[in-house]
Structure 1
Amino acid sequence: MFDDRTDAGERLAAELERRGLEVDVVLGIPRGALPVARPVANALEAELDVVVARKLGAPGNPELAIGAVASDGSVWHNDALIAQLGVSANYLEEIEREEAENASRKADQYRDGASIPDLDGKRVAVVDDGVATGATAIACLRQVHEAGAEHVVLAVPVGSPQSVDDLASEADEVIALQTPADFRAVGQYYRQFGQVNDADAIAYLEGDR
């Protein structure tokens, strides 16, 4: 159990230091990951930036993820669920375009219009506050690989055991402090798990918190 996201970030940072992890860039997945990623970036003396992805919601049920798309268009589909629900190719194309644009606008907002750091040949840690389905994490990891990163680590305080296992094929290394067998939701492992608003997330990104 973590007190809050900052506590989780400090404990994650300590584990990464213990493992001797060296990275050039830490990328947090907005918004909830920024309070976690800031202590990690500080401890590893790495630049902190963001990588943004949006969930692809199912027709008539936007909370049900049938995939995710990153700000550069990198996409992941839950093919089994798409087939089960009979989702059309036209729907997928439309929602991918819409959510990729939303992700791109969010990334621009966080970077004040600047572009993502040059990741070519870099060692990168992607940080989130936890992994449930792993949909957005997959899209983010694919964007980082597409950008030419040499070594990509996904680091989270807690995650679903199945999702953490699945993500091993998307990252060079996955580090999760806790993978409880009874995992149901990320928030159940935090004493405080309130929403992180954009202003607070940007303050963490800029080192003001």
Structure 2
Amino acid sequence: MFKNREEAGELLAQELAAYRNDPAAILLALPRGGVAVAYQLSLALHLPLDVLITRKIGAPGNPEYALGAVSETGAVYWNREALSGLSLTDRDLAAAVQAQQKEVARRVALYRQGRPFPSLKDRTVILVDDGLATGATFFASVATVRQAHPRRVIGAVPVGPHSTVEQARAIVDQLVILRTPDPFYAVGNFYRDFEQIEDREVLQYLNLAEEAFVSKS
């Protein structure tokens, strides 16, 4: 059980100490919850922090059930197992993607403040979230990062179920995970404080991380 996302980030930082001050490394956080975790990693490891905006594509009538995810670069991941149990047309799927792309665009405009997506070529990308459940947003994020030709992709996640963790481990170069509890019901069950992170808090974390990084550079 983690006290909050910040504590989870501090614990992950201990496992990733080898990347402290690595000039080729960058932290990419999945908003919103992943930003709070990655903020502590940025402070502890003295690495730059940015976001990778990815949105879950929920099932019609059950938005919490992930059919897939779409990222800010347009990369789409589909959970084929979830789709197989539903009779959805290509038009249904396209509409679901389009609906989430509107929120992705809103967050890109708000969080990036006009900055371009960071260059990841030949870099070590540490992808951070506050937990894995179905893994849909994480898988879409890895696909997005791979398109940018990084040197290595490292996943840094506090908690997730064994089955999803094994899927995630297969698509990254290294996966750092602190807990794989069984049974697993929801990410929030493993945090004492799992309040939703608001947009203003995301911006605050990003600004504070940038100030700290610049001041120590």
Q: How far apart are residue 33 of structure 1 and its match?
A: 1.0
Q: How many residues align?
A: 207
The gaps in structure 1 that reach 5 residues or longer are none
TM-score using structure 2 length: 0.90
Q: Which residue of structure 2 lines up, in the alignment, with residue 44 of structure 1?
A: 45
Contact 1:154/1:175 (<8 A) preserved: yes
Q: Which residue of structure 2 lines up, in the alignment, with residue 14 of structure 1?
A: 14
Instruction: Name the CA distance, whole Å, in 2 between partners of 1:124 and 1:176.
Output: 16
DSSP 3-state at the match of 2:88: coil
Contact 1:30/1:52 (<8 A) preserved: yes
Q: How far apart are residue 16 of structure 1 and its match?
A: 1.2
Q: Which residue of structure 2 lines up, in the alignment, with residue 201 of structure 1?
A: 202
Contact 1:26/1:124 (<8 A) preserved: yes
Q: Which residue of structure 1 lines up, in the alignment, with residue 65 of structure 2?
A: 64
Instruction: Name the CA distance, whole Å, in 1 between partners of 2:174 and 2:108.
Output: 25
Instruction: Name the CA distance, whole Å, in 2 between partners of 1:5 and 1:189.
Output: 10
The gaps in structure 2 that reach 5 residues or longer are 213-217
Once the two structures are superposed, residues 143-170 of structure 1 have per-residue CA deviations (whole angstroms, 9 ceiling, x without a partner) of 1111121100110111111111011222
Once the two structures are superposed, residues 90-142 of structure 1 have per-residue CA deviations (whole angstroms, 9 ceiling, x without a partner) of 11122213323421321221111211111111111000111111111111111
Distance 1:105 1:147, change over 3 A: farther
Q: How far apart are residue 198 of structure 1 and its match?
A: 0.7
Instruction: Name the CA distance, whole Å, in 1 between partners of 2:108 and 2:169.
Output: 25
Once the two structures are superposed, residues 73-96 of structure 1 have per-residue CA deviations (whole angstroms, 9 ceiling, x without a partner) of 111101122121111111112221
Alignment RMSD: 1.5
Distance 1:170 1:97, change over 3 A: farther
User: Is 2:56 the counterpart of 1:55?
Assistant: yes
Following superposition, which runs of at least 4 residues in structure 1 exceed 4 angstroms of deviation?
Answer: none
Q: How far apart are residue 60 of structure 1 and its match?
A: 2.3
Q: Which residue of structure 1 lines up, in the alignment, with residue 99 of structure 2?
A: 98
**Letter matched to residue 43 of structure 1:** A
Instruction: Name the CA distance, whole Å, in 2 between partners of 1:190 and 1:9.
Output: 12
Q: Which residue of structure 2 lines up, in the alignment, with residue 135 of structure 1?
A: 136
Instruction: Name the CA distance, whole Å, in 2 between partners of 1:97 and 1:170.
Output: 26
Q: How far apart are residue 6 of structure 1 and its match?
A: 0.8
DSSP 3-state at the match of 1:30: coil
Contact 1:9/1:38 (<8 A) preserved: yes
Q: Which residue of structure 2 lines up, in the alignment, with residue 151 of structure 1?
A: 152
**Letter matched to residue 142 of structure 1:** A
User: Is 2:110 the counterpart of 1:109?
Assistant: yes
DSSP 3-state at the match of 2:85: helix
Q: Which residue of structure 2 lines up, in the alignment, with residue 76 of structure 1?
A: 77
TM-score using structure 1 length: 0.94
Q: Which residue of structure 2 lines up, in the alignment, with residue 2 of structure 1?
A: 2
Instruction: Name the CA distance, whole Å, in 2 between partners of 1:141 and 1:96.
Output: 18
Once the two structures are superposed, residues 41-66 of structure 1 have per-residue CA deviations (whole angstroms, 9 ceiling, x without a partner) of 22222110000111111122222111
Instruction: Name the CA distance, whole Å, in 2 between partners of 1:33 and 1:87.
Output: 31
Instruction: Name the CA distance, whole Å, in 2 between partners of 1:107 and 1:160.
Output: 29
More off after superposition, 187-196 vs 199-208:
199-208
Q: Percent identity?
A: 39
Instruction: Name the CA distance, whole Å, in 2 between partners of 1:108 and 1:159.
Output: 30
Contact 1:2/1:8 (<8 A) preserved: yes
DSSP 3-state at the match of 1:188: helix
Contact 1:72/1:100 (<8 A) preserved: no
**Letter matched to residue 13 of structure 1:** A
Contact 1:108/1:115 (<8 A) preserved: no
